[in-house]
Amino acid sequence: MDTYTFSQLSEETIRTLVTLNEKYIAPEAWEKMQIVLTTEEGRRLEDIKSTLYRRYLVVMNETTLWARAIYPMLVLAEQGHIQAWSSVPLKATYSMFALEGEADGALAPTIGGRIQPPYLIVNEAKRGIHAPDPQFQLYGEMLAAAWLNWEKAPNPEQEIFGCYTVNDSWVFVRGVVSDIETDKPTFTLEFSPDYNGIWDAEQIVQLLKFIVAKHLKELNHG
């Protein structure tokens, strides 16, 4: 059995591991997946945005951009025992392959201060000529998270959300992994529009809140 780190993954590699089913979904469908911000959340979001206005985000180093522009918005989506996390280790063993590595961030439950399998994975695009493709690296991280969730609750279909960020742009992905115990699982994916981290910040947090609320509802009815 081969083990792949997330940074190794390409479209060609992913297609040898799973049956990839990428679907178009109208932007209007994503607009319905939103929960309105409270007054306090709106104020906190304006504070975050104020630190980004007229900054040279394109040349800002990745760690600073994560701290200023990405992680604070993940924190705004926290609810109950669902928390924002950074540097999340992931490891999964499917029938014919294994995945391992570290995701940049996640929204995941906590029990006793320990992270549980995440429901939303965040990948911040790395810079440089030899940097891995953030999309396919995210696919691998979502597959690993889906397998970890399946271990705890072996449903026939495992829904998992992810997003990758490029500078201050966000793209969300909804994934469903089925036939997870077979030699070649099916991975179905739907993509959001490209959201700008400043001008579309409210929509981003509203969508994050929706994803968290959906997961909490499923946990409460599980």
Domain ranges of the chain: 2-220
Q: d(Cα 208, Cα 78) in Å, to the nearest integer?
A: 9
pLDDT, tens digit, 9 for 90 and up, residues 18-66: 999 998 888 888 988 999 999 999 999 998 888 777 666 665 677 888 8
Question: Are 99 and 123 contacting, i.e. CB atoms less than 8 angstroms apart?
Answer: no
With a cut of 90, say whether residue 15 has pLDDT above it: yes
- Report residue 189 as tokens: 């994916």
Average pLDDT over residues 64-74: 88
How many Å apart are CA 191 and CA 145, to the nearest integer?
18
